Amino acid sequence: MRAQTGDIDLTDSITEMVKNSSHSQQIRVLLLHDELLGEGVQVDLLRLSERIKKPIIVMHTQEYSRRDEHPSQGIEEAKIRLGGKDVSASLLGVTPKVAERVMQAVTREETMPEALRVARIIASAVEEASCISFKSDSKC
């Protein structure tokens, strides 16, 4: 998930949000979802992990494999079982077994962790209210 030329790199913004949060000491794992990041938006997981010093789990909407981009750099591609379905995820600083337990603990409905479900609702409301598009198929 490294930024390409012309892409928007949110690594620094996410780093600042985590470090400057009044809840930063309570954060045990950073959970991201590629669908909520939007098209053309990238996060350098290795750099982010070095800066925030927290495990990272990135859920993927579709089958995802970039093993060739980061072999043996600590990023592991895994299938996590949620709501009876396998979900693709990139993991950094956490084993697949622990990641699955974390995801199951924070997921109430089907395969979407509660924090990401709320983030999706907020993003949709912001997009609708201001006609800011977070997705390529926006109706703005």
pLDDT band at 40; cut points 50, 70, 90: confident
In the prediction, which pLDDT does 4 show?
42
Query: Tokens 């993991």 map to which residue?
Result: 91
**If DSSP codes are grouped into helix, strand and coil, which group holds residue 5?**
coil
In the prediction, which pLDDT does 93 show?
92
> 84 pairs with which residues across the strands?
none
pLDDT in tens, 56-109: 998 887 665 554 455 557 788 889 888 788 888 999 999 999 998 888 888 876
Q: How far apart are CA 31 and CA 91, in angstroms?
A: 10
Query: For the whole model, what pTM was predicted?
Result: 0.73
In the prediction, which pLDDT does 21 show?
87
Phi, psi for residue 23 in degrees, rounded to 5:
-105, 10
Domain-wise residue ranges, the chain: 8-130
Q: Classify strands 41-42 and 8-9 as parallel, antiparallel or unpaired.
A: parallel
Which of 15-19, 77-81, 109-113 shows the lowest per-residue confidence on average (mean pLDDT)? 109-113
Give the rounded percent of residues in the chain with a pLDDT score beyond 90.
14
The CATH code of domain 8-130 reads 3.30.2170.10
Q: Span 110-116, mean pLDDT? A: 68
Q: How far apart are CA 114 and CA 94, in angstroms?
A: 20
Which of 40-49, 66-75, 116-125 shows the lowest per-residue confidence on average (mean pLDDT)? 66-75
